[in-house]
Structure 1
Amino acid sequence: MGIGTSIFLIALGAILTFALDASVGGIDLDVVGWILMGAGVLGLIMTTLIFSRRRQVVTTTEQPVEYRQVEERRDIAPPL
């Protein structure tokens, strides 16, 4: 789940919980809204943790093992 999806779930849950005053038979929209907001917050936390681990920079002090020299051949005609 990305940051955008998490924010969407939080906003949708807040709308269902605080702004909507409708009733659906057998479904409590306030509870559905709180569940969506919780899932959005959890997704936002998990996404932040994953991105923070991905951004860690690893530095090495070793030199490359092998250098290769590339030469350009001029004796072959270029393609048409």
Structure 2
Amino acid sequence: MGLGGCIILIAVGAILTFATDWHMQGVNLHLVGVILMIVGLIGVTTFSSIYRRRRVMVPPTTAVVEEDRHPHTRDGYSDGYGL
């Protein structure tokens, strides 16, 4: 379940808890709404912690060494005109 699914769970749970006055025999819709909101919050925290771990960047262990060329030495091909 992605972040969007978790947000939908929170929204549906809030609607069931705070915006409805339906009464079904054997089902407490307010409790179902609270449970959906809790599951959505757990999903959001889990998703954000996993996403944060994936974003950690490790610096490279090998050093980049650039070649030093002396501007006064010409081998005939380094400037592109030695053909």
- Using structure 2 for the length normalisation, give the TM-score: 0.72
Report the residue type matching 1:31 in the other structure.
L
2:28 aligns with: 28
Q: Measure how far apart 1:2 and its partner are.
A: 1.2
Percentage of identical aligned residues? 47
The count of corresponding residues between Structure 1 and Structure 2 is 64
Unaligned stretches of 5+ residues in structure 2: 65-83
Q: Which runs of 5+ in 1 are unaligned?
A: 65-80
In the other structure, the counterpart of 2:11 is 11
Q: How does 1:1-80 map to 2 (within 5 A)?
A: 1-62=1-62
CA distance in structure 1 between the partners assigned to 2:34 and 2:61 by the alignment: 50
Amino acid at match of 1:42: I
Determine the C-alpha separation between the residues in 2 that align with 1:29 and 1:41. 18
Structure number, greater radius of gyration: 2
Query: Equivalents in 2 of 1:8, 1:61: separation in Å?
Result: 42
Name the SS for the 1:23 alignment partner.
coil
Tell me the alpha carbon deviations over residues 28-78 of structure 1, each in whole angstroms, 9 at most, x when there is no partner: 0000000000000000000000000000101113159xxxxxxxxxxxxxx
Cα RMSD of the aligned pairs, angstroms, is 1.4
Higher relative contact order, chain-length normalized (CA < 8 Å, sep 6+): 1
Moved over 4 A (4+): none
